[in-house]
Amino acid sequence: MHWGSGDAVGHDDEMPAQIVQRNFDTYLISTDPARLDIREVHRFLSTEAYWAIGRPLAVQERAIEHSHLVAGAYSAEGEQVGFARMVTDLATYAWLCDVYVLADHRGGLGTALVQTVVEHPDVVGIRWQFLATRDAHRLYAKFGFAGLDEPARWMARQSPAG
């Protein structure tokens, strides 16, 4: 764990995730953080993703650096066309977030991306996995995600300093 990580931009490599690669159609999906085009991931999320509009580049870099698992989707030309990340303690909880596929590349790739993350060896045995979505419930339902049984038990906090 890094307390006060300075200016380094990269990926938290204390227990690096095993790199998994798979093909979907003409696309490559890879969990190698070194392949990521972080500026392109940030461009999409900060301008087109309703939950991350205006997110600063430094925040996106830090989020990626400290996410155990990242997955990128790449076109045959090697362009970054999709992304997802999983934040987890590797034991009890995992949080799936920042999932997207560029509009011209949608139609199956989102499913392949989420599958790659939830079937990753570091994730598959974690009992409780969470996410929030406005309208993509059908995508995640394929992998067993469902609405909360007892939403009254759940609380969320937005830090005034965040």
Torsion angle, CA of 141/117/97/153, rounded to 10 degrees?
Answer: 60
Complete DSSP assignment for 43-85: HHHHHH-TTTTT--HHHHHHHHHT-SEEEEEE-TT--EEEEEE
Count interface residues toward ligand COA (CB under 6 A): 15
- Evaluate the CA torsion angle 68, 73, 76, 81 in order and state its sign: negative
Query: Which region, judged by CB under 6 A, interacts with ligand COA, from 12-20, 29-37, 53-61, 103-111?
Result: 103-111
Applying CB under 6 A, which of residues 17, 70, 101, 117 lies at the interface with ligand COA? 101
Write each residue from 41 to 80 as x if it is in contact with ligand COA (CB under 6 A), else as -, in one continuous string: --------x-------------------------------
By the rule CB under 6 A, 100 interacts with ligand COA: yes
Q: Which residues bind ligand COA (CB under 6 A)?
A: 49, 99-101, 106-111, 133, 135-136, 138-139
